[in-house]
Structure 1
Amino acid sequence: MTMSDIKFNPRILVVLLIIVFISVIRIVMPYSDNFDSIAGFSAVGAIALFGGAYFNTNFKAFGFPLAILLLSDIFIAQTSGYGFFYAGWYWTYIAFILMVFAAKFLLAKINVLNFVTSVIAIVLIHWIVSDISAMYIPGLYEPTLAGYWKCLVAAIPFELKFLYGTVIYGGVMFGAFELLKVKYPALSLVRVTAR
């Protein structure tokens, strides 16, 4: 392969710009006057779906969304005082990795049914996995199956906001990119065929 065989595909740049744009909204949310009521209305699920669906390599699919999640978490922790390394924080990142994996599997073909199915799957993953972190906060829930169940029940209102945020942000991200693909066919995935 020579340098003349390598062609620039703007797909990666456009996908990354959409993720960064939505991430900026996540970063400015803590500055909202009603942050407590919209805290769960997050773009994180949509970012996991979008990255898993549109990046064509595992490094990009997992790496870019995880890097943006980490950077935005650090920024929010530094500027808002909410703290980053809270007890059990890594469960959120494990959930995020599983969400990207689910998106790669469920959104191999992008259509409305697969989008809805993947949204339900990642919200369940987020609910079941990330809420394990609450078991690490002293005095919040007893570290038993009964305590975990109480945590899951208490998290339902938050997960409903997470569901709404994933649907709305995801709809905007997927819709925007699919419309751009129609207008600019160069954004379609370039498949390399053997010669």
Structure 2
Amino acid sequence: MSLHKINTRNSVLILIILAATAMRLVNTQVPLLSNFTPVGAIALFAGAYFNDTWKAYLIPMLSLFVSDIFVNYIYTYKLIVFTGSSLWVYGCFMLMVLVGTFIKKVNIVSVATASVVSVMIHWLIMDLPFLYGTFYPHTLAGYGQSLTAAIYPFETNMLIADALYGAILFGGFELAKRKYTSLQTQRQLAL
């Protein structure tokens, strides 16, 4: 594949991710939209479309990191670069990128399945009771309470957001690939 096509494809992927990341700022003013963000869909999208593994992980992690600074500032009016749970959050999203790498054929079933798996990863990891100090007992029962409390609105909103943003990201890029061959991979062009 020519350098021009690689740069065009990667540039478009990065621009799409940046545009989707900007949507994180929309829900900061509406409490009902808690966790209704594109970050899960972005992680899956990056995993599915970047040819270079390092880009698939680096681009969404950088967009999450930078947007976290803005989101934290909106909520606290302080520049917060890193919180106690940041490693857990970034770890979850890295696992979501990994899930995205398993999407070999983009269709509704594969993207929906990956979205559900990603939300499950987030739900099971981010609701570990020790991440919230003494809010939940550090027992199996406390974990169950944390998981139950997270179903609505947090994980429900994340699942709906992954479906909506996933449809926009994956669907939009698939349509663009049909129109612009520079967005296709060498393998796709050979078919």
TM above 0.5, yes or no, is yes
Deviation at 1:84, TM superposition (A): 5.6
Equivalent position of 2:93 in the other structure: 96
Deviation at 1:55, TM superposition (A): 0.5
Equivalent position of 1:124 in the other structure: 120
* CA distance in structure 1 between the partners assigned to 2:135 and 2:86 by the alignment: 15
Residues 135 and 147, structure 1, Cα contact 8 Å, conserved in 2:
no
Equivalent position of 2:157 in the other structure: 161
Equivalent position of 2:145 in the other structure: 150
Equivalent position of 1:40 in the other structure: 35
Q: Mark the runs of 5 or more structure 2 residues left unpaired by the alignment.
A: none
Query: How many residues are paired up?
Result: 182
Equivalent position of 1:23 in the other structure: 21
* CA distance in structure 2 between the partners assigned to 1:29 and 1:38 by the alignment: 5
Moved over 3 A (4+): 82-87
Deviation at 1:138, TM superposition (A): 2.5
TM-score of the aligned structures, taking structure 1 as reference length: 0.87
CA RMSD between the two structures: 1.7
Once the two structures are superposed, what CA deviation does each residue of 1:62-111 show, in whole Å capped at 9, x if it has no partner? 00000100110012112331856443332111111111101102x12212
Structure with the higher fraction of residues in helix conformation:
2
SS where residue 8 of structure 1 aligns? Answer: helix
TM-score of the aligned structures, taking structure 2 as reference length: 0.88
Equivalent position of 1:112 in the other structure: 108
Between the two proteins, what is the percent identity of the paired residues?
A: 38
Instruction: Describe how 1:9-88 pairs up with structure 2 within 5 A.
Output: 9=5, 10-30=8-28, 32=29, 35-81=30-76, 85-88=82-85
Residues 87 and 137, structure 1, Cα contact 8 Å, conserved in 2:
no
SS where residue 155 of structure 1 aligns? Answer: helix
Equivalent position of 1:184 in the other structure: 180
Once the two structures are superposed, what CA deviation does each residue of 1:126-179 show, in whole Å capped at 9, x if it has no partner? 1111222x5232321111221111101110011011000000011001111111
**Does 2:171 correspond to 1:175?**
yes
